[in-house]
Amino acid sequence: MNDHELYMRRAIALAANVPDLPFGALIVDGDSGIILSEGWNKTSVNPTWHGEIDAINGLSSSGVGIEGKRLVLYTTAEPCPMCQAAALWSGIETVVFGTSIRSLQRLGWRQIDILAQEVVRRSPAWNCKLIGGVLERDCDALFQKADLPLLNGTTSRERIWVSAWPAVSWHSKQSSNSSAGTEGEADAEV
């Protein structure tokens, strides 16, 4: 097992905190190998609180100086445009992910159809290397497993969302439209 796989194992372990939204992430000092911050999906609290955002927030609130550090972000799934942009703004030089956005889409997870590579390509002021497919099978399995239909016909992911944001009316509209397409079935994020 190489270093990337080792840290991805940790991301997978963090994702176990939210088995229905298994987005785990950590930030590592690329030189020392020290884990600087860890996180997982907390969209039950705030819909923008993706796993990567959690790790980035943890890093900034930890007081650890990042000046001159080569930051590496590990995440169980390819960052969505919001998270990839946040990684750039945070000075993260390398992003390592397991499951791709394309795979998430195939599995029925709603995604914004902009790949992390596209965000990087259109951000010439930054240098960020993307490494995908690390422990891809293990990560894919997390997202496959998470899509468990419940007896009432909703998915566990939908249930989390609805319980957290009961006043958001557009959600129920989206849920009722979900049978029309493959991407609308549940709330998703990276």
Residue 142 or 190: which CB sits closer to Zn ion?
A: 190
Residue 34 or 89: which CB sits closer to Zn ion?
A: 89
Binding status of residue 50 toward Zn ion by CB under 5 A: yes
Q: Which stretch binds Zn ion (CB under 5 A): 1-9, 75-83, 120-128, 143-151?
A: 75-83
**CA 9, 101, 92, 86 torsion-angle sign:** negative
Binding status of residue 83 toward Zn ion by CB under 5 A: yes
Least Cβ distance, residue 30 to Zn ion (angstroms):
21
Least Cβ distance, residue 189 to Zn ion (angstroms):
5
Pairing of strands 71-77, 92-99: parallel
Binding status of residue 190 toward Zn ion by CB under 5 A: yes
* Token duo for residue 22: 């298994």
28 and 7 Cβ atoms separated by less than 8 Å: yes
| Alpha-carbon torsion, ordered 4, 49, 165, 155, to 10 deg | -10
Q: Which stretch binds Zn ion (CB under 5 A): 49-57, 60-68, 112-120, 136-144?
A: 49-57
Q: Which stretch binds Zn ion (CB under 5 A): 62-70, 92-100, 141-149, 181-189?
A: 181-189
Residue 21 or 83: which CB sits closer to Zn ion?
A: 83
Give the C-alpha separation, 183 to 168, whole Å: 19
Task: Report helix, strand or coil for 14.
Answer: helix
Q: What DSSP state is assigned to residue 152?
A: T
> Within 13 Å of residue 109, how many CA atoms lie on the same side as its CB?
30
Binding status of residue 18 toward Zn ion by CB under 5 A: no
Binding status of residue 104 toward Zn ion by CB under 5 A: no
Q: Which stretch binds Zn ion (CB under 5 A): 37-45, 83-91, 106-114, 151-159?
A: 83-91
Residue 95 or 134: which CB sits closer to Zn ion?
A: 95
Residue 14 or 83: which CB sits closer to Zn ion?
A: 83
* Token duo for residue 28: 């590592």
CA separation, residue 190 to residues 26, 137, 176 (Å): 13, 17, 23
Positions that interact with Zn ion (CB under 5 A): 50, 80, 82-83, 189-190
